[in-house]
Amino acid sequence: MGEETDEAPGGGYISHFELYLQAMQECGADIAPIRSLLRLLYEGVGLPQALSEVSPYAGVTTFVSTTWDIVQSGDLPAIAAAFTLGREAVIPDMFQALVRDLEARFPERFVTLRYYLDRHIHMDGDHHGPLALKLLETLCGDSPEAWARVEATTQRVLEARLTLWDSVCEHL
């Protein structure tokens, strides 16, 4: 529950996804592709096909497909690695740099986005990240094979994240 929901700015509660969409709208981003993707998924279209219909950016498709493939594999150490070392462990530092840049360049703008980023910095850095690392250690234990899958998966998801960010930069 704590991973997917949070306190809303101004009170109440909101899902992180809805908060993200609000932040994107505040920034002037077009959220129609995300809404189209959700509609297609709701209609029963598989993720790979739905993604190909709505995402014109290869980096987005690569990032989402990589995560989806790992989840679909059912390999628990790989799944835990993707989320722990590909997200929880890197997001706080990555988002801190974004928040600093937003505050310096746009001090009065993008309030919802900064709130969203700050919440992830706090939650992932202080709580979710350390718990995820413990989960990964428990899943892999002393198994060299499991740790090898963790290493390969981590490299794969970080490369997919880099492709995503390169695609975003190219688009901007």
Q: At what angle do helices 58-73 and 144-171 cross, to 10 degrees?
A: 160
- For residues 82 and 67, the answer to whether their CB atoms sit within 8 Å is yes
Q: Where are the alpha helices (DSSP H) in the chain?
A: 16-27, 32-42, 47-54, 58-73, 76-83, 91-105, 111-123, 129-140, 144-171
Contact 51/64 with Cβ under 8 angstroms?
yes
Scan for tokens 């989960």, then name that residue: 135
Question: 47 and 68 in contact (C-beta within 8 Å)?
Answer: yes
pLDDT at 18 over 80: yes
pTM of the model: 0.85
CA–CA separation, 51 and 76 (whole Å)? 24
pLDDT band for position 10 (50/70/90)? confident
Q: Which two tokens stand for residue 124?
A: 């992932």
Residue listed under structure tokens 């950016």? 57
Element (H, E) at 15: strand 13-15
Out of 46-55, 74-83, 137-146, least confident range? 46-55
Q: Average pLDDT, stretch 94-120?
A: 89
DSSP for 73-85 reads: HT-HHHHHHHHII
- Radius of gyration of the chain from its Cα atoms, rounded to whole angstroms: 17
Instruction: Summarize pLDDT for 70-105 with one digit per residue, the tens.
Output: 999 999 999 999 999 998 888 888 889 889 999 999
Section 111-132 average pLDDT: 86
